[in-house]
Structure 1
């Protein structure tokens, strides 16, 4: 174990997360594959090793500081990109049944390689638009926890993500800068999509103290039949 890994473990222990040597190896393989594939396709602008461990891996796991993962069985990661936060959460909490939805097939191919390299069980990778997938019975109103990291503004995210959440489940939006304005803008979409704001948590990342916010929304009722609207509409015409 080197200094980067030791620091990573220390950061997790501060939040009572313990991982095994095997799990630590999985993170290292993930890092190496991310950097290798990033030379062929645009997955991330962050490739320096310590930065990846903190700004991708640790950042992804901060969701578990505010949501008890022991109570979560099914997790959907919408617009996951290079697998954040879904894959780090799956590595740390192997019991999770993870579904990742992404609109770009090249990213799905990368994620399939990661799943294979890390021998992860219980992961489903779906190539498609969130608005289309959320219309399918097997995914609609089904998940304990749904998350999206740095994907879109809240008014849009609510329509992308809340249709996947089961009644009583949670949608967690992972944001950078202060999202208060976004949250206010999204009030109508929350009401329409039967979401109830339950938390807005702030933290700073190690290394550069960059701000992070995690917005938690509880699903209070089944998704109305009219939503989500057809692919592309939420971005062009958010519910505001």
Structure 2
């Protein structure tokens, strides 16, 4: 498998917004597209319609969470409905001292994600093939990207949080979403919206947000 980086322009986008990355983090992020190009021929992890914008639409969007929140070392985080490994894999590279559990009910995707984790030598990242609502683990945080409506996901995860917080803020969920969310958030008046166009200037992020809902 050829892991040479031929996506310098795309990686420049990542380095533009995350200028303090370590060399090892830059390397791991820089080989992601080639890894996914290879494994996507085995299982459709990422839509071919978005693959040409891999770093913007998948990696940088996932790292939007890192722009609004920093996980404390030792935090235990579930990536619910990880699909192709987003946002969990990019976040696990940025936060090497945080433990990420990538959860999905589709076995063939989980098997490929395990190979990508192995290729990246990620020691803080694990997978579980299970429906999230059947998972018995307790987490500090849950991250997820476009899996379902917020109220549905909330019902899946409302009993999945540790009682005591490992951070300065309460345990809870971070949702990567797009579009108008007024209807979805009616049941969550305590939700906090972080528009990603405040951090990233590309048109793709005009309507993209991180939604923070604490477990209260």
Q: TM-score, normalising length from structure 2?
A: 0.85
User: What is the root-mean-square deviation in Å for CA atoms of aligned residues?
Assistant: 1.9
Name stretches of at least 5 consecutive residues in structure 2 with no aligned partner.
164-169
Q: Deviations over 1:85-140 (max 9, x none)?
A: 1110100110011111100011111110111001111222100111111xx2xx0x
CA 1:124–1:153 in 2, change beyond 3 Å: closer, same or farther? Answer: same
Q: Deviations over 1:1-57 (max 9, x none)?
A: 8332223201223xxxx2122212211222112111212222112221xx1111111
State the distance in 1 between where 2:114 and 2:73 align.
26
2:160 is aligned with 1:164:
yes
User: Who is 1:105 aligned against?
Assistant: 107
User: Who is 2:28 aligned against?
Assistant: 26
1:200 to 178, 193, 196: 193
Higher strand share: 1
User: Who is 1:40 aligned against?
Assistant: 42
Secondary structure of the residue aligned to 2:185 is helix
State the distance in 2 between where 1:71 and 1:126 align.
22
State the distance in 2 between where 1:161 and 1:63 align.
19
Q: Which structure has the larger Rg over C-alpha atoms?
A: 1
Secondary structure of the residue aligned to 2:109 is helix
Name stretches of at least 5 consecutive residues in structure 1 with no aligned partner.
191-195, 221-240
Higher helix share: 1
Contact 2:175 2:211 in 1 (8 A): yes
User: Who is 1:179 aligned against?
Assistant: 181
1:154 to 150, 154, 157: 150
How far residue 162 of structure 1 moved from its aligned partner, in angstroms, is 2.7
